[in-house]
Amino acid sequence: MLYVGIDPSYSKTGIAYLDKETKHILFKAISPTGSNENYLAAISRAASISAGIIRELKEEESAIIAYEEPLLNSMKASRLGLLSGVLAISLFFLPTAKLVYTVAPAVVSSMNKQLPYKKDFANRKKLSLYVTHLLLDYLRKEGYTIDIYNDKRKKDGTKKARKLSHDEAEAFLILLQLVKLYDIFDEDVLAGMVKIHKGIINKYQLNIFKNYYQEI
């Protein structure tokens, strides 16, 4: 079973994948070309982002997914609403997406409110990136492998190293809601993560959008 957290964004959609069996965490980011200059451009770019995610997930046997809902009361949010809608319909009709949840847009920032060093960061994104790095360092010590995908290559053909983006970091924090719901990590591993980030244990509502098991 693959567990997936998604932070949808036109500038860079962050995706965090967790394979429970192999203890492998993979980060990917999708940045479509162009801009949202009109409705058709926004739809086209949303479709490009969605297609990138679907290409990955259709090769899996099964996946459980959580993604962040957009705010719906601003001009920027109206565009994100298009992206969210396109992604939702794509996941709904994807056979390998067995369960799909959404989380409210305030979940990540609410989680981070409990961090003791939050005052040292200018914005939520930098804080999410910082705490995710701490959590990943801990998970490496617990036997998890962490990869940040990069399709760009050096002259010798080897892949270029890439830094984790804040979008991918927030996708990971969204993924942690599934980790908690499905008891993916051992109790001692989760306890160690909570020492780093107490906000992990906060209870947030996961809104189920698709449940393949009930449909059949």
**Cα 63 to chain center, whole Å?**
13
Q: For residue 106, what are its two tokens?
A: 């305030």
The whole-angstrom separation of Cα 158 and Cα 35 is 31
Distances (CA, A) of 195 to 131, 177, 188, 190, 199: 11, 16, 11, 9, 10
CATH number at residue 152: 3.30.420.10
For residue 216, being part of any structural domain is answered with no
DSSP conformation class of 73: S
For residue 64, being part of any structural domain is answered with yes
Strand order in the sheet with 63-68: 145-148, 24-30, 13-19, 2-7, 63-68, 97-103, 207-211
Asked whether the beta carbons of 6 and 67 are under 8 A apart, the reply is: yes
Supply the range of the domain harboring residue 70. 2-209
Residue 75 confidence (pLDDT) above 70 = no
For residue 214, being part of any structural domain is answered with no
Q: Read off the pLDDT of residues 78-134 as tens digits, 9 standing for 90 and up.
A: 788 889 999 999 999 999 999 999 999 899 999 998 888 777 777 788 899 999 999
State the sign of the Cα–Cα–Cα–Cα dihedral 184, 151, 44, 51: negative
Q: How many domains does the chain have?
A: 1
Q: Read off the pLDDT of residues 9-52 as tens digits, 9 standing for 90 and up.
A: 999 999 999 999 999 999 999 999 999 999 999 999 999 999 99
This prediction has a pTM of 0.92
Residue 72 confidence (pLDDT) above 70 = no
For residue 215, being part of any structural domain is answered with no
